[in-house]
Amino acid sequence: MSYTEKELKKELEGKSYEFGFVTDIEAEKAPVGLNEEIIRLISSKKNEPDWLLEYRLNAFRIWNEMSSPDWAHVKYQEPDFQNICYYSAPKQKKQLESLDQVDPELLRTMEKLGISMEEQKRLTGVAVDFVMDSVSVATSFKDKLADLGIIFCSFSEAVQNHPELVKKYMGSVIPASDNYYAALNSAVFTDGSFCYIPKGVRCPMELSTYFRINEAGTGQFERTLVIADESSYVSYLEGCTAPQRDENQLHAAVVELIALDQAEIKYSTVQNWYPGDENGKGGVFNFVTKRGLCGYRSKISWTQVETGSAVTWKYPSCILKGDYAVGEFYSVALTNNYQQADTGTKMIHVGRNTKSTIISKGISAGFSQNSYRGLVKIGKGAKNARNFSQCDSLLMTDRCGAHTFPYIECENPSAMVEHEATTSKIGEDQLFYCMQRGIPEEKAISLIVNGYAKEVLNKLPMEFAVEAQKLLEISLEGSVG
Amino acid sequence: MDTVLKIENLHCQVQGQQILKGLNLEIKRGEVHAIMGPNGSGKSTLSSVLAGKEDYEITAGQILYQNEDIGELSPEERSWKGMFLAFQYPVEIPGVSNINFLRTALNERNKALGRDQISAKDFLRLVSEKSSLVGLDNKLKNRSVNEGFSGGEKKRNEIFQMAMLEPTLSILDETDSGLDIDALKIVSNGVNTLKSEDNATIVITHYQRLLDYIVPDFVHVLYDGKIVKSGDKSLALDLEERGYDWLKLEKAL
């Protein structure tokens, strides 16, 4: 062949992560380190009520008693929690009344990320909340949503304007004591997104949050709380990017979903945090706790496309509490170079006739390690519960690893639990077949990988699916061997 | 008549093992050549090296396609120039629809040749025209490439792809294997319909049976990496009757 893989790799070097830029915006930062003083500072900066400060301090005490989890199939140097800045806010005028008041540098950042708020405002039906470093900087479409009684705002605003909802639901699905990183988040979270859909309302547009780490030496600790009241529906999207840096940055988020009786929440993530360079230097540690609570005949559907982060530790889960509740988890996790991902889900069946579906597609390239870890738990009272799990792994090289850790705990004999798993290596024969038909190798790889991940990509909203497809393509360039 | 393919003294090795040992062949436009031979004679190696598969190393001699030495060209470049291989074992590509696959193939070629992308309308017209040629079931078009296809459906799909790509040189590698007589007729009929004064076909087969339907102008016997005998279609009948052993004897003498 006239074009060797080496040449190709050379050509593609540096092209791999196109969101690696840094925005030059003046930021207001807290001193580095973690102690009660810092937490009090964050709380007062955000003008929080006492109960919330208490919540944070309590979480901090819990966290101090805990040690970091070591059961995941990942290896990394634990972050130095005293060397992180826990509060960084782009400096700007106090209250933003409209987009015109947003720092132009910030608007340029959003445009570079492909979110032109101006255009979003006019053209599309997607409402966006943009969270940079620690604070939410802009939310579009607020008024239109408010007409329907939908609340979509930053977490901080929700604390100020809807404290009763925040107080009632925050921590109700993921208590501060849940795990090490959830406890840390509960102590130091700075912002995030909040969403409430009233009874019987079908949210007419996709709600979307865009997370971005910008400042060096900061951690991002955001919280997302989505409440779908009875018989309501919402589709929620989350996107993430970060600049290219040599050091590891910590992202420890908490996402809580509450689907009340007969409500439906669709939560989609395209995670593209900076994955580190081709030697495994730098990159984001993505330690996230995501969980949803389902009431009677309600449904929560998680869809994730994970291509970024040096280390991912993440298990979006569903507690199927109400009878006939449905939980779904669709995941594509791609790791390249020295990335490590340990991701999966937990489906906790509590109610009768509850149903869950798990489709997980792992893709490993380079020297990466990709693990699926999942728990299907059928409680004593979960009569006629059903689960179907399918975990597939695709290997791109013979130096990477794919692992599957499925756990099944069943306490009710009427339950039906199915588990299927496959592992395959991308076939030379498949590639040759495509190339013989005139499809060059790179294109053939993306065709095959996208075909492999199709079941999951199909679950994403349209515009996101296209973006995710491109992302898989970029993340895999020059990776077969 | 001009020459489509000229193979000169071709030596080819795979993982250090010499398989082709001085093969010569010349094919002109409008001709159908059948290549027969016992197992292990190098038939599949010939189709792989012509299509440019990795690990099939040319150690001596050359392959001239339309007067150009294509030994260094990638498989896709050969494809863009009009070479097509109908695979003996077509692979499955889960999640990629037949239609999407072919559209990608056509557009990649158009891109490489500096032509415009095919419009959705023209593409669909082409699909319906060509699929009727091989009697390809409508539902197979939207299914994933070869996934869950029967043996016959896979081979039919190969000929459908061939029709879509309109190659100058088609190589059919044991297309008859695994086909019942009805499927064989349909596939042969497709190949015959696509035959023209401008293109050429190589039919690689084990059995004479296929040649009742795709009538060759020339028959060559491949044995131990070389063409040891060439003739017209009566040679195929001889082989059918006498097997390959007499050739071995002839060669030994």
Q: Is B147 on the interface with A (CB under 8 A)?
A: no
Domain span at B98: 3-252
Is residue A114 over pLDDT 60? Answer: no
Distance from CA of B52 to the nearest CA of A (A): 8
Give yes or no for residue A208 having a pLDDT over 90: no
Work out the pLDDT band at A140, boundaries 50, 70, 90: low
Could you report the per-residue pLDDT of A75-102, keeping only the tens digit for each? 888 888 888 888 777 655 444 444 555 5
pLDDT value at residue A81: 83
> For residue A87, with 0-12 CB atoms within 10 Å meaning exposed, 13-18 middle and 19 or more buried, which class applies?
buried
Q: What DSSP assignment string belongs to B126-179?
A: HHHHHHHHTT--HHHHHSEETTT--HHHHHHHHHHHHHHH--SEEEEESTTTT-
Residue A146: other Cβ atoms inside 10 A? 12
Please give the mean pLDDT across all residues of chain A: 82
The answer on pLDDT for B35 being more than 70 is yes
Read off the pLDDT band of B2 (50, 70, 90).
confident
Confirm or reject contact between A453 and chain B (CB < 8 A): yes
Residue holding tokens 């494809």? B79
* A432 lies within 8 A of chain B by CB: yes
Render pLDDT for A418-469 as a digit per residue (tens, 0 to 9): 999 888 888 888 999 999 999 998 889 889 988 888 888 888 877 677 777 7
Q: How far apart are CA A288 and CA A298, in angstroms?
A: 24
Report angle CA A249, A254, A259 to the nearest 5 degrees: 155
Residue among A441, A443, A448 whose CB faces B93 most closely? A448
DSSP 3-state of B180 = coil
Number of domains chain B contains: 1
With cut-offs at 50, 70 and 90, classify the pLDDT of residue A17.
low
Note whether B96 contacts A447, CB cutoff 8 Å.
yes
Find the residue in B nearest to A435 (Cα): B76
Q: Is A454 on the interface with B (CB under 8 A)?
A: yes
Is residue A273 very low, low, confident or very high in pLDDT (cuts 50, 70, 90)?
Answer: confident
Token duo for residue A381: 């009272």
pLDDT at A120: 44
**What is the rounded average pLDDT of the residues A243-267?**
86
Q: Using a CB–CB cutoff of 8 Å, tell me whether B161 touches chain A.
A: yes
- Contact B186/B210 with Cβ under 8 angstroms? no
Q: What are the structure tokens assigned to A179, written together?
A: 């795990």
pLDDT digits (tens, 9 = 90+) for B139-168: 888 889 999 888 888 998 999 999 999 999
Of A432, A439, A450, the CB nearest to B53: A432
Nearest to A439 among B52, B105, B144 (CB): B105
How many Å apart are CA A222 and CA A186, to the nearest integer? Answer: 9
Residue of A2, A439, A455 lying closest to B73 (CB–CB): A2
Q: Which of B49, B57, B72, B108 to mutate to test the interface with A (most CBs of A within 10 A)?
A: B108
**A116 has pLDDT over 60:** no
Whether the predicted interface score ipTM is above 0.85: yes
Is some CB atom of chain B closer than 8 A to the CB atom of A435? Answer: yes
Among A329, A313, A301, A289, smallest CA distance to A370 is for: A313
The verdict on a CB contact (< 8 Å) between A451 and B76 is: no
A429 contacts chain B (CB < 8 A): yes
pTM of the predicted model as reported, rounded to 2 decimal places: 0.79
Average pLDDT of span A365-391: 93
Closest CA to A28 of A251, A212, A249, A214: A214
Contact B77 A2 (CB under 8 A): yes
Strand ranges in A426-467 using DSSP code E only, listed in sequence order: none
CA of B84, closest CA in chain A: separation in Å? 7
Residue in this structure with the two tokens 């997302």, named with its chain if needed: A224
* H-assigned helices in A288-440: 428-436
- The CATH code of the domain that includes B22 is 3.40.50.300
Q: Across the interface, do A438 and B165 touch by the CB < 8 Å criterion?
A: yes
Q: Which of B57, B79, B154 to mutate to test the interface with A (most CBs of A within 10 A)?
A: B79
What is the C-alpha separation between B37 and B223, in angstroms, rounded? 6
Size of interface A-B (CB pairs under 8 A): 84
Average pLDDT over residues B194-208: 91
Question: Residues near A222 by Cβ (< 8 Å), separated by ≥ 6?
Answer: A131, A134, A155, A189, A190, A191, A192, A193, A211, A253, A254
Measured between beta carbons, the chain A residues lying within 8 angstroms of B90 are: 433
Quote the pLDDT of residue B160.
93
Of B54, B76, B95, the CB nearest to A438: B76
Alpha helices for A46-141 (secondary structure H)? 50-65, 104-112, 117-122
Structure confidence at residue A130 (pLDDT): 66
Which residue from A337, A388, A389, A345 is spatially nearest to A363, judged by alpha carbons? A337
Write down the pLDDT at residue A271. Answer: 82
With contacts defined as CB-CB under 8 Å, which chain A residues touch B112?
A: 438
